[in-house]
Amino acid sequence: MTYRAFALVLLLAPFLASAEDGPTGFILITDVSVWDGTSESASPGMNVLVENNLIKQISAEPIAVNRSGNTKIINGGGRTLMPGLIDMHTHLMFQFGVPDTRTFDHAAMGAAAYEGMQTYLRMGYTTLRDVGGNSLSIARALAEGRFRGPRVYSAGGAINGISGHSDLGLLTVDPYDSVFQKRGDTNVVTGVVEATAAVRTILRQGGTHIKVMPGGGVASNFDPLEATTMTEAELRAIVEAAADFGTYACAHAYTDESVNRFFDAGGRCIEHGFLISEKTVKRMKKIDAVLSLQAYAGYESFKEPEKIPGFTAENSRKARQVNEGTDRVLGWIAEHEVDTFAGADLWIYNMIPLTAQDMVIRKRWFSDLEILKQNTSYAARWLVKSGPKNPYKEGPLGVIEVGAYADMILVEGNPLEDVSVVADYENNVKVVIKDGEIYLNTL
């Protein structure tokens, strides 16, 4: 081994997990109030036993363990044990923002993604869904236990037409020749053949689901919010190609026209949607569609868009439109009890720590119980829709039950009464366990 290679190994050693560092033996958590991710209330005075990476036993009676074996015991002291949080909308490969990301190679963005994932873990997020960006190899390496971090369900580069929301090349550069296209962070396509090929390529590389961009966006420059940037034939080809592999497509769309075109093409998962009408909200309920909630981004971040670095006057205009629509649409979503899950869409490196505040913002429209479910069991219901492309098949996520993955956080206070205690993660998230491994224990 050369001196440089040896030095690199020494530098990375603290961050790399060997087989011995992973979930071996048992973890016994005593005297906790267990909220299982679905129930109306928590069960006090419980004990939970983890064997390797799965939950082995949950009991109000003491659980006997072999103390001479490899058993770690955590006394919960009556605190709340709940499922690890799930964020369903992030972009791990864009943490420097689009303009600066152009100036770094994929190795640097991978390093940034690794740092971001550790921040998510510290907040109690044990699973992330990446809905745009070439994090496919990162997701695979995490699933294989090659390094430490949350689980990642990756869509790879989002698919859209020329001048769509993820056409991120410079104006003077061919959309098919941009740095993002070359790195697989985006997929600009034209027509059914290219759209189908993009889906199959992403799934071949390990994608768990597909992201499409049939509508305009706020931070991009070539697409008004009112634009519908993909044909129904292209969208149908994408939805059907994903279904052929047993998984699904989700769509970035804000308006009635773009959302309903995706529905007409067979899609059922919408990201954003903050400019739709109540009629479309009722259609969502009727066809069992889901809305992925980015409440903080739409309602809070876009209150003063002029202060967002890099935003042009047009970006700010679009942001104000979204801000005005967010309150109205989320009110209808709550009223008509449309299926929801939550992803904060706070993926810039200095905004990731605000992700947990997305739960607090949602108190405007949803109960504390509903909010917790949106980040646990409701999210997990859609993760399993990846079907055979789901890399985590040993047990369910988003719940605390026998046979489930041991992804749990121990929280000071009762989040069922106020989710703000979870959002104040620095003071209240005391223990983070992911896949049967203790990542944080401040007790």
What is the residue-wise DSSP string for 254-298?
-SHHHHHHHHHTT--EEEE-TT--HHHHHHHHHHT-EEEE-HIII
pLDDT of residue 24: 57
pLDDT of residue 16: 39
- Give the CATH H-level superfamily of domain 21-83+400-441: Urease, subunit C, domain 1 (2.30.40.10)
Band (pLDDT 50/70/90 cuts) for residue 343 is: very high
Q: Is the pTM of this model over 0.85?
A: yes
Distance CA 348, CA 97 (A): 6
Distance CA 309, CA 304 (A): 11
Q: Where are the domains of the chain?
A: 21-83+400-441, 85-366
Distance, CA of 397 to chain centre: 13
Most confident residue range from 65-69, 274-278, 312-316: 274-278
Domains 21-83+400-441 and 85-366 share a fold: no
pLDDT of residue 187: 96
Distance, CA of 55 to chain centre: 23
Band (pLDDT 50/70/90 cuts) for residue 357 is: very high
Residue 14 pLDDT more than 70?
A: no
C-beta of residue 89 within 8 angstroms of C-beta of residue 414: no
Side chain identity at 322, as an amino acid letter?
V
For 214, residues 6+ apart whose C-beta sits below 8 A from its C-beta are: 160, 164, 228, 229, 230, 235, 251, 252, 253, 258, 261, 262
Class of 85-366 in CATH: alpha beta
Each residue of 161-207: pLDDT tens digit?
Answer: 999 898 888 888 888 999 999 999 999 999 999 999 999 999 999 99
pLDDT of residue 3: 35
Q: Which tokens in the block code for residue 329?
A: 């649409």
pLDDT of residue 151: 98
Mean pLDDT score of the chain: 92
- Asked which of 64-73, 272-281, 324-333, 349-358 is least confident by mean pLDDT, the reply is 64-73
C-beta of residue 343 within 8 angstroms of C-beta of residue 297: no
- DSSP assigned state of 149: S
Q: Which tokens in the block code for residue 423?
A: 């959002």
Which of 410, 426, 407 is CA-nearest to residue 142? 407
Band (pLDDT 50/70/90 cuts) for residue 69 is: low
Distance CA 53, CA 395 (A): 10
Distance, CA of 104 to chain centre: 24
Percentage helix, strand, coil for the chain under 3-state DSSP, each rounded to 5: 40, 20, 40
Distance, CA of 201 to chain centre: 22
